[in-house]
Amino acid sequence: MFENLIADLRASQEDRVLEKGMGLWRVLFRMETPAIVCYRFGHWVEHVNIPVVSLFLRIIAGVFQRFVQILVGVYISPDAEIGPGLVIHTPFGIVVGPNKIGSHCTIQNGVVIAAGTRGIGDNVYFGAGAKVMGGAKIGNNVVVAANSLVLTDVPDNMTVIGVPARIRIPGGRPKRFKWQTVKPQNGPNGKEQPAPQNGNATVPAQPVPTQPAPTSQTQPEAVTKAQ
């Protein structure tokens, strides 16, 4: 339990560049962290076979689960088998049934993974609003684009898009938009350029090349000819 939980927190910390080097204490204050802790704790309780202790722990896990559902809007079945490195990128509206999911799975808000799937591999990225229904099987290194509906099997190293998800693009590595500061761009004069407004970028004025003035070397020739 604790090894997987630490791996989850480490993976969640890597998504945000500003929090690197600050330890795991800052990750604990995120809204999605209680949902991960609740799942890991509830999944661990399911395997405790001590009669009195297991009953007491199940009550605590059930209360904790209801609290997380109300506060964060995330439900992950304690019967689900999820590998280490689970990342809930943004909470609210997330439902994960008792499925088998590999390691390093990333879930955004509005994702529903219904019960009955035939397995989800490693390094799978679910965009916001993605849905997995029926007995679909998802391979390794797969990206399910936002608002896509997966009804059929998805092979390895694939990006799927659509409702239902029929558009398949080779390559399953998601583009991660990490939380980091954006350095301002300096113009030709060394001053900071203003940010573009209304989608129109400001183009710095280019210097106009000037033609050199005519020299006085041709004047004596003109005078001699006149004479």
pLDDT (tens digit per residue) in 146-173: 999 999 999 999 999 999 888 888 876 6
Q: What is the mean pLDDT of residues 174-189?
A: 52
Q: CB neighbours of 89 closer than 8 A, spacing ≥ 6? A: 15, 32, 106, 107, 108, 109
Q: How far is CA 101 from the centre of its chain?
A: 17
Given a cut of 70, is residue 188 above it in pLDDT? Answer: no
More confident residue, 61 or 203: 61
Given a cut of 90, is residue 4 above it in pLDDT? Answer: no
Q: What is the mean pLDDT of residues 4-16?
A: 76
Helix/strand/coil for 61: helix
Record the pTM: 0.71
Given a cut of 80, is residue 211 above it in pLDDT? Answer: no
Q: What is the pLDDT of residue 30?
A: 82
Domain spans in the chain, listed from the N-terminal domain onward: 2-170
More confident residue, 68 or 7: 68
* Banded pLDDT at 177 (limits 50, 70, 90): very low
Q: Whole-number mean pLDDT of the chain?
A: 78
Q: What is the pLDDT of residue 141?
A: 93
* Banded pLDDT at 197 (limits 50, 70, 90): very low
For residue range 70-83, what is the model confidence (pLDDT) as tens digits? 999 999 999 999 99
Give the CA distances from residue 172 to residues 85, 117, 145, 152, 168, in Å, rounded to whole numbers and listed in that order: 17, 20, 10, 17, 10
Q: For domain 2-170, give the fold.
A: UDP N-Acetylglucosamine Acyltransferase; domain 1 (2.160.10)
Strand ranges in the chain using DSSP code E only, listed in sequence order: 74-76, 81-82, 87-88, 94-96, 100-101, 106-107, 112-113, 124-126, 131-132, 142-144, 149-150, 158-161, 167-170
Q: What is the pLDDT of residue 190?
A: 54
Contact between 165 and 186 under an 8 Å Cβ cutoff? The reply is no
CA–CA distance, 193 with 226 (Å, rounded to integer): 57
Given a cut of 70, is residue 52 above it in pLDDT? Answer: yes
More confident residue, 48 or 19: 48
